[in-house]
Structure 1
Amino acid sequence: MKNNRSSTLLTKNHLGKIPDDERLHQNDYLEAVKAFARLTYESVYVINYETMAFEYVSENPLFLCGYSPAEVMALGYEFYFKNVPEDDLTLLHVINEAGFDFFKNLPGEEKIQYSITYDFHLLHRDGKKVLINHKLTPLFLTREKKMWKAMCIVSISHHKTPGNICIHKQGSDALWKLDLKDKTWRKSEKPKLTKREIEVLHLHAQGLSIHEIAEKVSVTPDTVKYYRRQIFDRLNVGTIVEALSYAVNNKMI
């Protein structure tokens, strides 16, 4: 459902009608998206900025908030206004403004290599509020190199509060974080883990305990605890679950 309030507040990426010849290379692309959705635990959906509508919504319940995929698709951008708290809607508006300003200044085809990630709350029909992590990356650009369609991935956030806005470039350790106070992007690099710290994370991901990891890598349990503390400090997290979530989301393991 197209809504003027929705399109005005939640995106500044306004497109005119896309020429028919630009549509030809999109044949059956949604089949690949659907196949990916079947293989991941995360929610997947596709935004079409020409129509300001959702073109696909997966069946994963996290993003649906108690609706069916068909109901979410019918709501389109109005879904956000029904299921995102007011403060977080304001945050999404800021992210949209800053994100598309950043995207606009990137070189041509290089734009396809960038993705943005941020956290906000969703309100479910039963009243439950969940902090989710939302990732968005371009699927198709227009001839003018504007974002035409984007794929979005939704999972549970490992943070405690909304925000945490970062832009990543594929194949690069560079990332840009949005300072919400002055709406400025600040460039930095992904934190780096040592080979042993990555090994410890892998073993935790397999469900091994601290003592089992110590035996596996031939060190004492206290040494494993030291590696864990180092991981927490480098990733700025407080638990092994948060560390694993951060490492997976940032393609570190």
Structure 2
Amino acid sequence: MVKEYIPDKYKIEPGGETAYGEIADKIVDRETGHWFFLTNRPFKDINHNFANIPQKVIEELKDRRTEKSEPIRVLDVGGGIESRASSELAEKERDQNVQVFSIDMAVRKKDQEDLHQIAGDVLKLPIKDGAIDLAYSRMSISLIAEEEPGKLFEALREVARVLKPGGIFLVDKTFTERLEKLEEFKSLEGELGVVFYSKELGLFLKPLERLLNKLRHDYPDWKFIIMIKEPVDENLLKKLKLKELR
């Protein structure tokens, strides 16, 4: 039996066709009437949107682990009510000691091994410090920025808290439009203990300079930011299919 967790202030209603051609329900604020679609993206689309970096990172972490290594932990921020991408990833990596976490404000929980669905708030992640190897947010952090711009940095701080040293967080393009000044990124780097890299911002700093140049060549339309918790794991970055760094 599927258990549904929905905050009291919201209700779910039949929706319609999304911009991506999918049929999805919508979640509605009972007081204001504001609503948005409860989209459920497949993992292959997320992986493609982030230039195949998620799968490459997972494969490299699997190659380097030992018998005593902790599980590889992946976090989908705003994973959708069905946690579709996380569910697909957990199934794909079954028996590979990979744990997948999906957090969203509304969740329909399913019984699946290595899938951890969290009904909650990205501003208060129920995850211990330094636990996550890889996180990504596709059309989720951007919603926070649109509705409550002041909470954008809070969300980034919280994700930075749960990342392991060298952990990677991928954030979609809408986020880059909220931080137009280089100075804001520099201040966040010092405050959060992370580094930000983006084609649009031109932050081609070593050791990621050649990685980003390769992304710019292979994926000319890539529109996301790479956030890495310091100290940067240069060996991991060198394994991300970069011939010139081998």
TM bucket (normalised to shorter chain) is 0.3 to 0.5
Instruction: Output the TM-score relative to the length of structure 1.
Output: 0.32
Q: Report the structure, 1 or 2, having the larger helix content.
A: 1
Larger Cα-atom Rg? 1
Instruction: Output the TM-score relative to the length of structure 2.
Output: 0.32
